[in-house]
Amino acid sequence: MKLLVTGGAGFIGSAFIRLALQSPEDLTLGNIDALTYAGNLENLASVSADPRYTFFKADIADAAAVEAVVASFQPEAIVHFAAESHVDRSIHSPEPVIRTNFNGTFTLLEAARRHKTPRFVHVSTDEVYGSIDEPHEADEHYPLRASSPYSASKAGSDLLALSYFTTYKMNVSVTRASNNYGPYQFPEKLIPLMIANALDGKHLPVYGDGMQIRDWLYVDDHCRAIRAVLDSGRAGEVYNIGGSRALPNIEVVQRILAATGQPESLIQYVTDRPGHDRRYAITSDKIERETGWKPQVEFEAGLSETVGWYRGNAGWIANVRSGAYREFYDKNYGGR
Ligand code: NAD
Ligand code: TYD
């Protein structure tokens, strides 16, 4: 199998690559990544010397660069992770989000069409369904009601990817996962930000009343689900991937404080995020029925593993929290 991954230096893409190369499988794996603030080759240190692995530094929205990689590598499958992935950043600066998430997906689909790439998996999010009232859960036919520039860009790119199945009969599947957590996640998303702040004894900024609900999925469970879809998902189909663990944000934060031995007085309620989705909820019946995949990692075990990882990797946190991170932090949290 000759597999081309995009965004493999990020949180989920790097976990996917590490898992794929852990197996002795006959695999040639290429990774296209532009190394934005979220892309970090340290995440791939354990596999960088593997002869089955090649890194291509390229921007997926640069058609000539993508063409050069796809023409030389000739993948049998593309698994597309690369994205601007953070809602708060998409609120402050939507332009790079639309460029990478929509135009970048278009550029990749076009290269795959020209080179007749046999398989394309587009990695997306449950956020495309928008906020869902109790007691409903979205299946794959639920209407798309994206709230942020991030989720709108993902909804648009999902539809574009599916149109390449309908129009050009390309073998495309789309996955929509719930909120991921685990080692190597950039400390701007809820769980790694709160762990990093708690370990430093800093305030934990909770948006609004903290009663928003997210469904937590351990990153390796997500990667196993993507692999299942790559291997046996059907063309033109969408697969939801949920963690089956819905929790209000404040409970997640309290568990992080307990796991790091810090007091609840570190919690600071701050002004809510504009357009904040109250609740995400999906059903993963389809992927479970069709591929046999199920999440394996309980939230308690996954969170304890994750806190342990951040505790043991202070150098990684310090590196990714250098200058540009400070600017984002001040812009997002200053005066909130
Ligand atoms: P991330 O922000 O950690 O990593 C994104 C990676 O993409 C980085 O390595 C970055 O350098 C790269 N990238 C960004 N713009 C690029 C460009 N123009 N060209 C090439 N590379 C570029 O993101 P993540 O959390 O690993 O998310 C991966 C995918 O999974 C995204 O498509 C995201 O929408 C989706 N997803 C994420 C979650 C989550 O909870 N994190 C949940 C569901 C779906
Ligand atoms: P986030 O990790 O940004 O993921 P998403 O918005 O894509 O679900 O946020 C998860 C939840 O945590 C969301 O309801 C917003 C909330 N949140 C905070 O309360 N404080 C924070 O500092 C961050 C980053 C998120």
- Residue pLDDT, tens place only, 251-263: 999 999 999 999 9
Centre of ligand 2 to C-alpha 88, Å, is: 8
Residue closest by Cα to atom 5 of ligand 1: 10
Q: What total number of domains does the chain contain?
A: 1
Q: Is the pLDDT of residue 323 over 80?
A: no
Q: Which of 142, 124, 141, 125 is nearest to 133 (CA)?
A: 142
Report pLDDT for 293.
Answer: 98
Q: Is the CB of 7 under 6 A from ligand 1?
A: yes
Per-residue pLDDT tens digits for 44-54: 999 999 999 99
Residue 206 lies in a domain: no
Q: What residues are in contact with ligand 2 under a 6 Å CB criterion? A: 87, 127, 179, 189-190, 193, 205-207, 212, 214, 249, 273
Helix (H, G, I), strand (E, B) or coil at 88: helix
Mean pLDDT of the region 246-275: 98
- Positive or negative, the CA dihedral 284, 288, 290, 291 is positive
Residues 133-168 have pLDDT tens digits of: 999 999 999 999 999 999 999 999 999 999 999 999
Give me the pLDDT at residue 309, please.
Answer: 98
Confidence of residue 325 (pLDDT cuts 50, 70, 90): confident
Instruction: Say if 224 falls within a structural domain.
Output: yes
Name the residue among 89, 233, 238 with its Cα closest to residue 177: 238
pLDDT band at 328 (very low <50, low <70, confident <90, very high): confident
How many helices and strands, by DSSP H and E, does the chain display?
13, 12
Is the confidence at residue 131, as pLDDT, over 90?
A: yes
- Domain annotation covers residue 131: yes
Instruction: Decide if 95 contacts 22 (C-beta within 8 A).
Output: no
Residue nearest (by alpha carbon) to ligand 1 atom 19: 59
The model carries a pTM of 0.98
For residue 308, the model assigns a pLDDT of 98
Q: 215-224, 254-263, 324-333: lowest mean pLDDT where?
A: 324-333
40 CA from centroid of ligand 1 (Å): 11
Q: What is the pLDDT of residue 65?
A: 98
297 lies in some domain: no
* Paired sense of beta strands 246-248 and 213-218, if any: antiparallel
Question: Is 167 among the domain residues?
Answer: yes
Instruction: Identify which of 48, 313, 22, 34 has the alpha carbon closest to the alpha carbon of residue 187.
Output: 313
Residue 92 lies in a domain: yes
Domain that holds residue 68: 2-180+218-243+280-292
pLDDT over 70, % of the chain:
100
Which atom from ligand 1 is nearest to the alpha carbon of 15? 26
Does 243 sit in the ligand 1 pocket, CB within 6 Å?
Answer: no
Distance 189 CA to ligand 2 centre (A): 6
pLDDT band with cut points at 50, 70 and 90 for residue 312: very high
Tell me the pLDDT of the chain averaged across its residues: 97
Tell me, using a 6 A CB cutoff, whether residue 239 lines ligand 1. Answer: no
Active-site residues, by number, are: 126-127, 150
Residue whose CA is closest, atom 21 of ligand 2?
Answer: 190
The pLDDT tens digits for 235-246 are: 999 999 999 999
Q: Check if 33 has its Cβ closer than 6 Å to any atom of ligand 1.
A: yes
In a domain? residue 46: yes
What ranges in the chain are assigned the alpha helix state H? 11-22, 63-73, 87-92, 94-98, 104-114, 149-168, 190-200, 219-232, 249-260, 285-291, 299-312, 314-320, 323-333
**92 C-alpha to center of ligand 1: Å?**
17
pLDDT at 299: 98
Give the DSSP letter of residue 200: H
At residue 324, the pLDDT reads 83
Q: CATH number for the domain including 103?
A: 3.40.50.720
Q: Is the CB of 60 under 6 A from ligand 1?
A: yes
183 in ligand 1 pocket by Cβ < 6 Å? no
Q: Are 21 and 52 in contact (CB under 8 A)?
A: yes
* Range of lowest pLDDT (19-23, 130-134, 297-301, 328-332): 328-332
Confidence of residue 2 (pLDDT cuts 50, 70, 90): very high
Q: Is the per-residue pLDDT at 202 higher than 80?
A: yes
Residue 176 within a domain? yes
Pocket test of ligand 2: the residue of 90, 101, 190 to mutate, having most ligand atoms within 8 Å of its CB, is: 190
